[in-house]
Amino acid sequence: MTVLDRPAGVSAPGPAAPRRVAGLLLRWWRRLTAMRTAIVLLFLLALAAVPGSLLPQRSLSQNKVSQYFAEHPSLAPVLDRFYLFDVFSSPWFAAVYLLLFISLIGCVLPRALEHVRALRAAPPPAPRHLLRLPDSGNLTTPLQAGKALDVVEEELRVRRFRVVRTDGELSAEKGYLKETGNLLFHLSLVALLLGLAGGKLWGYEGSILVTEGQGFCNSFQQYDTYRNGPLVDSADLTPLCVDLDQFTAEYEENLTAASFTADIRYGAPGEDGRPVTIGINEPLRLDGDRIYLTGHGYSPTFSVTKPDGTAITDVSVPFLPQDNSTFGSQGALKLPDLGGGRDDQLALEGFFAPTGLVQNNILTSVDPRPLAPQVAVVIYQGYLGLDSGIPQSVYSLDASQIDRGRLNRVAAANLEIGESTTLPDGTTVALTGYREFAALQLSHDPGQVWVLVSAISLLTGLLGMLLLRRERVFARVAADPGGGGTVLTLASLTRGSGESAPRFAALTDHLDDALAARAPAPQPEDRPRDR
């Protein structure tokens, strides 16, 4: 064969571009699917979740986010630019989550296939120099070589070793479940991530304040706040309606809460509801849905009567608690249809005290129990701006309408139950009583059973990793040069355990006793008979 000389100055051609790209992708794939990378990504995921626990999240409370913007007008927009008020739906959190998911799959699945092959493979043959292993020793027995190995094999099988025996030697192994536990742990972690992702994609939850005697149906339009996954629309909601019959709060002598319970009725729309009682830690559990009791408060009841006799009687509106120790609450009542025209609408905002005490003409609450209910109200007339297209809170008046003079303050009063105040135009506003409301939350999470099973499997795998040991035992027999017996050489390898020497010593002692028990009894020496 003739070899052509390459012209001077011409270098060897490099690999083709597709091969270089494939090699680069392969190297990045190996780095991504390394266990070290998975650990780093898991740490980053935990670190990324920290802002979600320190800062208010829009998915949980839009009001708290708005309050944070009001308190930190310079810092809040900067944080919002980095999605720190929507951490768990942010692109960077989703990127870390997805990379961790891919890394775990690429890391665990090849190991699982390798472990399956190892389960079907025989234990490795005994090393040539057994006495070089850290745990090794010799035993001498009068038994023949084959019988000595029979004893060793029997004892190891009793200890649940897999045993392979060849000419003059024996290999045994156990503890495969340690690696199985390791793989179960990581596969369960992947399944846990899948369940959490499924719950975010196909799950939803909504929160609403329901006053006694009222109810709601499972519709996004009826909730005060709600969160739904990107793959959920209104047609996917469970057909369910809930009515609140009664709320009961019990307190200790020191005014700390003893128990909160809500008597509700639930069922499909148009059906007679089934009664049930739920508590703070006792939700109503349905097929895929949960109804939680998350809080409570008071809804003062008002009656408003115009001079011409037009009236709205016994209208209740929830007042939000400002102090959980005394349940002093603030709220607003808007009556756009009671006035004579667009600029003659009526509204009031005020402070409700379950046990009211007036000090220096200021109403405060001294007890969370409704022992002496009172309300301090400020009444406005004018244009509420409800049809302006700008969203408003149902629990407070629009301050901009007041600042611009669209709403004018016309009266203020402290009222007990049965008392009323009269406006300059003759309209009467009376406090007729109160009702209690319950804060209910309906949650639908299709991945919760999957997450529960994955968490149990994860703990099971972790226990297997921590409690089980991977052990190998080798034995070889040889003729005893000093007699007619057999020299049995033993050695063991224990992975991931600092107690290998005592375990090997215990095994050696047990085998020595078993060999001695199988050894033939010594024959008495012949004695001369008397003649």
Residues 513-523 have pLDDT tens digits of 888 888 776 65
* CA nearest to 511, candidates 175, 164, 143, 126: 143
CB 410 within 8 A of CB 440: no
Please write the tens of the pLDDT for every residue from 344-374: 888 999 999 999 998 888 899 999 999 999 9
Q: How much is the pLDDT for 523?
A: 57
Q: How much is the pLDDT for 403?
A: 76
Return the exposure string of 450-474: e unless at least 16 CB atoms fall within 10 Å of the residue's CB, then b. bbeebeebbeebeebbeebebbbbb
Considering only the top CATH level, what class is 122-174+469-518? alpha beta
Collapsed DSSP state (helix, strand, coil) of residue 348: strand
Q: How much is the pLDDT for 332?
A: 93
> Helix/strand/coil (H, E, C) string of 119-142?
HHCCCCCCCCCHHHCCEEEEEEEC
Q: How much is the pLDDT for 114?
A: 80
Low-confidence ranges of the chain (pLDDT < 70): 1-15, 59-63, 339-341, 496-498, 521-531
Domain spans of the chain, in order of start: 28-117, 122-174+469-518, 204-444
d(CA 172, CA 471): 8
Q: Which helix (H) or strand (E) holds 435?
A: strand 428-444
Q: How much is the pLDDT for 339?
A: 61
Q: Which helix (H) or strand (E) holds 67?
A: helix 62-71
d(CA 354, CA 369): 6
Ranges of beta strands (E only) in 180-280 are: 204-211, 215-217, 225-228, 241-251, 257-267, 274-279
d(CA 203, CA 297): 28
The secondary structure of residue 28, as a DSSP letter, is H
Q: How much is the pLDDT for 530?
A: 47
